[in-house]
Amino acid sequence: MITFEGVTKRYGDGTVAVDNLSLRVPTGAVTVFVGPSGCGKTTSLRMINRMIEASSGRILLDGRDVREIDPPTLRRGIGYVIQQAGLFPHRKIVDNVATVPYLLGWDKKKARARAMELLERVGLDTKLAGRYPFQLSGGQQQRVGVARALAADPPVLLMDEPFSAVDPVVRTSLQDELLRLQAELHKTIVFVTHDIDEAIKLGDTVAVLRVGGRLAQIADPATLLSRPEDDFVEGFLGRDRGIRRLSFVPASGVAVRSEPHVPGWNVVLDGDGRPLGWRPDDAATPSGAPVNRTGSRDGSAPAPDGVLPFGAFDPAKDSLRAALDAALLAPSGCAIAVDGAGRFQGIVTREALDRALLQAGGAEPARPAGSGSSTPREVGDEAGNSGSGVSDRSSATGGSDGPSSSRGPGGDGAAAHG
Amino acid sequence: MGEEPLIRWAWIGRNWPQIEGMLVDHVVMALVPALLGLLVALPLGLASARWRVLYQPTVSLMNVVYSLPSLAVFIVLIPLTGLAERTTVIIPLTFYSLAVLIPAVVDGLESVPDHVRQSAVAMGFGPMRRLLQVELPIAVPVVLAGLRVATVSSISLVSVGALIGRGGLGYLFIDGWQRQFPTPIIVGIVLVVVLAVLADGLLVLAQRLLTPWARARRTA
């Protein structure tokens, strides 16, 4: 647990970078500091390992004021990942990763063995160990940066915009990698970014800071999306909050019909029971009709003629957002549920989705991954913000009232689509 | 020089022992200033990089020193260190190499990227360790580039010492000119150039061995 108690950073020229910041960073979870430039997020991060000293207030690391700890000792116990990786250009990758173990006086063999283990852990080929940093791509360098931060197995990891200098595709894979690592390692991570989508993707808790270094709101991502505390937070979160919030609602609650057809449409399966697409009932027209040729979900096999595109999701893993997306992709308006191996499980109709969306709108959302971060501020403020919250929910589930009022077991509403 | 041949090989053979002595003298008087300069430039450069206010005054002072004609400096030094003494030549040449090496050390330290320095701090390097294990090693290519310039110019400047009777191979130029006899001049030029090329080559080799990470960057 890292606790900020009334922390302020004031510079000599009177600029206030961080203004009376109080918050708690829970152990074993990812806390993201997010905000526009000039909001003091990096300053706040660097005050934890005393790269910047606070002007007033205290920062406690598991109850101990960080100012009681000699800076190098403090820092060797806290992993740090910096933008552009900050690798030492004159040291080989393996020695870069072993930096902190060397500083802690491990013998070279043990430190290098540990470094090799970590390279594998962050998904790097150990053949890269003997190279120099410039010989690696930006994404690889950043992975090495993460491995280096983890080398001495510190309980706390500080990450200062670590993925902002790489291209979007690499960034996504680095983010996924971090989530995977965190699921194994359960570090206490403080992550700084200016990218709200990154914050929402990675954070168990997200602290939104405003210019001048003041805390605007701290909450779990789903709460942040559904109940932003003020206009600043709402503006910073951007559009489509209702839809984005669905990412935090598991799709497991949605009703699945096991028959591979709805009125007017049939699901076409391959030999292994994987869906290939939808075929209209009257698709006796074998040729001539201009039919889209679409691939299966992963694009591996072309669909046969007369089969139309489909969307699929895995109710055990995916969010309601994925389910909704799957339904929107299909001409039948229905999503196909698949199991972990991609085999057909059933069909989710629009009506079933509508009911799930309506429930999601009313229920307190939870992360599919299951984070336990509590947001005490939110509870007290609920009444004051209920207006925006409710209107948001109704827009997320827009138009749901009509069809979902028909309480039949799903199939009866399909006539509306036929 | 009309009927005189450009080079008389017999003369070289006859005078080789003396030429060899001058060569050794030349090497000593050229390399000592370069190494001494490096030794002095390191702390001065570190201080200038650490306290930026020192940088401009130091460099300006060194440039003034660099602009002093060597002959004038020799004359000032003769009463103190003696005529035709190695020391009298070595002292001004050391100052000249300082004028090249101090900026090289400062530039070298500034070539350390900020994110590298910050990550060293964040990893828990203390100031001394950071300097020795991170900043200085990264500064090596730039410092060595400066040392190459200092060494080569020092090798060529030693010859001026001939004016006060201690110029290593420079004596050959005066001797050849006074006697209207080209052979010593040519021998002197060839040996000075060979010396410079050799010293430079050795430094390049040292750089490749010391900084494989920088060599790889060049070829990348």
Q: Residue A383: pLDDT above 90?
A: no
What's the number of domains chain A is made of?
A: 2
B217 has a chain A CB within 8 A of its CB: yes
Percent of chain B with pLDDT strictly greater than 70: 96
Instruction: Identify the CA nearest to A214 among candidates A43, A11, A3.
Output: A43
**Chain segment A335-378, per-residue pLDDT in tens:** 999 988 888 888 898 888 888 888 877 555 454 443 444 443 33
d(CA A144, CA A123): 10
- Chain A: give the shortest CA distance to residue B113, in Å: 8
**Cβ within 8 Å of residue B83, ≥6 positions away:** B164, B165
Cβ <8 Å between B213 and A132: yes
Substitution target in B109, B123, B136, B211 with the highest count of A β-carbons within 10 Å is B123
Cβ-Cβ contacts under 8 Å, B123 against chain A: 75-76, 80, 99-100, 103, 148
Which of B116, B123, B217 lies nearest to residue A103, judging by beta carbons? B123
Q: Residue B104: pLDDT above 80?
A: yes
Element (H, E) at A79: strand A78-82
Confidence grade of residue B216 (pLDDT, cut at 50, 70, 90): low
More reliable by pLDDT, A123 or A301: A123
Give the three-state DSSP class for A46. helix
Q: Are residues A260 and A404 in the same domain?
A: yes
- Dihedral sign, CA of A398, A404, A410, A414? negative
Q: Indicate the CATH number of B9-215 among 3.40.120.10, 3.40.50.360, 3.40.1160.10, 1.10.3720.10.
A: 1.10.3720.10
Looking at A82-91, A223-232, A279-288, A320-329, which range is the least confident one? A279-288
Q: Are residues A187 and A39 in the same domain?
A: yes
Which of B118, B126, B138 lies nearest to residue A89, judging by beta carbons? B138
Residue A315 lies in a domain: yes
B83, B164 in Cβ contact below 8 A? yes
Residue A381 lies in a domain: no
Confidence grade of residue A301 (pLDDT, cut at 50, 70, 90): low
Give the CATH number of the domain where residue A15 resides: 3.40.50.300
What is the arithmetic mean of pLDDT over A248-254?
84
Q: Are residues A54 and A193 in the same domain?
A: yes
Among candidate residues A212, A240, A268, the one where a domain is terminated: A240
Residue A123 lies in a domain: yes
Which of B123, B125, B213 lies nearest to residue A90, judging by beta carbons? B213
Confidence grade of residue B171 (pLDDT, cut at 50, 70, 90): very high
Residue A90 lies in a domain: yes
Confidence grade of residue A247 (pLDDT, cut at 50, 70, 90): confident
More reliable by pLDDT, A54 or A387: A54
Among candidate residues A214, A240, A266, the one where a domain is terminated: A240
Among chain A residues, the shortest Cα distance to B129 is held by A103
Q: Residue A314: pLDDT above 60?
A: yes
Strands A344-348 and A312-313: unpaired
More reliable by pLDDT, A292 or A279: A279
What confidence score (pLDDT) does residue B2 get? 53
Q: Residue A280: pLDDT above 80?
A: yes
B213 has a chain A CB within 8 A of its CB: yes
Cβ-Cβ contacts under 8 Å, B213 against chain A: 89-91, 132-134
Looking at A73-82, A192-201, A403-412, which range is the least confident one? A403-412
Cβ-Cβ contacts under 8 Å, B138 against chain A: 88-90
- Chain A: give the shortest CA distance to residue B215, in Å: 11
Q: Residue A318: pLDDT above 60?
A: yes
Give the three-state DSSP class for B92. helix
Looking at A88-97, A228-237, B3-12, B102-111, which range is the least confident one? B3-12
B119 has a chain A CB within 8 A of its CB: yes
What confidence score (pLDDT) does residue B215 get? 63
Instruction: Compute the mean pLDDT over every residue in chain A, rounded to the nearest whole number.
Output: 82
d(CA A251, CA A136): 39
**Chain segment A136-182, per-residue pLDDT in tens:** 999 999 999 999 999 999 999 999 999 988 899 999 999 999 999 99
Q: Residue A386: pLDDT above 80?
A: no
**Chain segment B135-168, per-residue pLDDT in tens:** 999 999 999 999 999 999 999 999 999 989 899 9
Q: Residue A309: pLDDT above 90?
A: no
Among candidate residues A240, A273, A305, the one where a domain is terminated: A240
Percent of chain A with pLDDT strictly greater than 90: 50
What confidence score (pLDDT) does residue A54 get? 95
Give the CATH number of the domain where residue A270 resides: 3.10.580
Neighbours of A369 (CB within 10 A): 11
Residue A116 lies in a domain: yes
Looking at A250-259, B95-104, B174-183, B188-197, which range is the least confident one? A250-259
Confidence grade of residue A404 (pLDDT, cut at 50, 70, 90): very low
What confidence score (pLDDT) does residue A296 get? 43
Q: Are residues A202 and A333 in the same domain?
A: no
Give ipTM to 2 decimals: 0.84
What is the arithmetic mean of pLDDT over A396-411?
35
Cβ-Cβ contacts under 8 Å, A150 against chain B: none
What confidence score (pLDDT) does residue A291 get? 41
Q: Residue A415: pLDDT above 80?
A: no
CA-to-CA dists, residue A397 to A58, A243, A356, A415, B183, angstroms:
44, 9, 9, 21, 100
Confidence grade of residue A190 (pLDDT, cut at 50, 70, 90): very high
d(CA B190, CA B23): 11
A333, A327 in Cβ contact below 8 A? yes
Residue A371 lies in a domain: no
Residue A168 lies in a domain: yes
A45, A189 in Cβ contact below 8 A? no
More reliable by pLDDT, B123 or B218: B123
Residue-number span of the structural domain to which A163 is assigned: 2-240
